[in-house]
Amino acid sequence: MIGTGDSAPMKPLALLIPGLDGTGRLYCRQVPALSERYRVLPWEFRRRTRFDFEDLVAELGEGTADEQPGSMVVAGESFGGPVAISFALAFPERVRSLLLINTFAVYRRRVRIRLACRLSGLLPWPGIRQAKDIIAGALLALEGVPREGRAAYFDTIRRIDLRAYRRRLELVRDVDLTSRLQEIGVPTLIFAAGRDKVVPSAAEARFMASRIPGSVLHEFPRAGHALLLTPGFSLASYV
């Protein structure tokens, strides 16, 4: 969408697709630098409990239907990675570049994800949530995420719709996009943390980089799953 007369051209869109939280709020550290060059949209998925990947991609497609061809930067973090891949496959004409952060095309830790799906039904219990928060806080601190980053994380998870969270876990369990990676035809950057305890990011990133034509891999050996909240990491410096 180009302005007329003395109007400046509209900035291209940076679509930031969230992980399991579904809110886009964990991109908070990345927004200021990206905003210098892009209209930044940390996506918050519609509140619902019955959906699949196709529904999420359709929601994103409707929300970005007016964007100029080949203009969008599309980022997907963790659970958002398979959604971002699916979006790039469904709407390749809209995408300028694809960014995949600590994510996967298939989640290979089968026992862990099945157990997570079963235990997620216990999260409404205060004691279970408190224990989960204590573990998460300790992991974030070990990953070098500062106090304000940890506060942003806990503020985010308090807003999560637990039924939608459980459905997203089920989608992680079932997704397998490995056979479609070679179809991705847009420039792709892959970011992987070496100390990720949630996703085997480094191994999965190398696998995806070997399948996605022309992709570029960036590894961060000392970072963890919360790479977006880690001081010194900036998506804007890569796009």
Q: What is the pLDDT of residues 53-75, one digit of tens each?
A: 999 999 999 999 999 999 999 99
Q: Quote the pLDDT of residue 7.
A: 59
Please list, in sequence order, all residues whose beta carbon lies within 8 angstroms of the beta carbon of residue 17, skipping any fewer than 6 positions away.
Answer: 24, 43, 60, 74, 75, 76, 77, 80, 83, 84, 87
List the 39-42 sheet strands across, edge first.
39-42, 13-17, 72-77, 95-101, 188-193, 216-220
Once rounded to an integer, what is the mean pLDDT over residues 206-235?
Answer: 96
The residues facing 141 across adjacent strands are none
User: What's the pTM?
Assistant: 0.88
Q: Quote the pLDDT of residue 144.
A: 77
pLDDT digits (tens, 9 = 90+) for 99-109: 999 999 999 99
pLDDT digits (tens, 9 = 90+) for 115-130: 888 877 655 546 666 7
Sequence spans of domains, the chain: 13-237
pLDDT digits (tens, 9 = 90+) for 190-204: 999 999 989 999 999
CATH code: domain 13-237 is 3.40.50.1820
